[in-house]
Structure 1
Amino acid sequence: MSTPAKPNTSNFIAPPSVASQIAQLPELPMPEIKSLWQRLFGNNVPNHNRQFLERRIAYRLQEVEFRKFDAALLDRNKRRIASLLETGKIKKRDRDYRPPAGTLLTREYQGIEHRVIVTQDGQYDFQGRMYPSLSMIAREITGTRWSGPLFFGLKALASPKTAARRGAQR
């Protein structure tokens, strides 16, 4: 009985990761930046401010790459845009809102910077361990119960009016 032949991968070169593409942007000559802009956006560069162009290109590279993993994000955004056009107001985020895969969340707490990466499967990578919620990570960092989205700045603190209304409803 023979074993199946392994595919020849010696000529296969994996495309560079989004992170490495972004890291290389400052090293690219300006003509290559302009060419990359045209390829990603389909039009000429709007200005010649290199920092602006690098930031927009970096954002677009991430948008293109991570859209592959969270198709629901595009649908959610389309609904929010339609609602904004219809009512003139932005509704609160969906309760199930999670940042797109690849998002890096940082928070400084007691002089230490903590970093969390949103994974493709909707979990959070903190110090090499996977967590199902940001609140669990916030508790790990602080030792007390916290709203994870609030701790990492994804959700604003309740305004004094909102807090007073909640107190009156109880």
Structure 2
Amino acid sequence: MTSLNTRLADLAAMPPTQLRSAWRDTFKSPAPDIGPDLLRRGIANRLQERVHGSLTGATKREIERLRKRVERTGKAGYAHAISLKTGTRLVRSWNGKSYHVLVCDNGFEFEGRHYASLSHIAREITGAHWSGPRFFGLKKRSEYKPRVPANA
């Protein structure tokens, strides 16, 4: 069996007709009507996935979510989005009391109740508006962009 590096190097030298044949062999479907560079990249990606594995389901879902947001708004959102795994427990001490929050698939659990955001929980604990990620130590103040008043 040829090594991955050899197969990737071979792709660089292939003419378009040979790339289309390699695409059929790799994907078991006719090559799309795209240029040779994209054919090479697609084939190379699939070959690397077979050796090194593919993206996780969560990563694929996040990419799809961002793709839809870009389609809708033209922006992908913050570059430093927080990603917490289900089952993670966040702990915060406040005024001498320890508070525990459980990360769930679709939000957070705090004192037996479900919340959609950490900010709602931070308000419940403190009685004041807080950024939930900041309150629980997931972001520093410097990571926030200052708000500019609309009339400025």
TM-score (norm 1): 0.40
TM-score (norm 2): 0.45
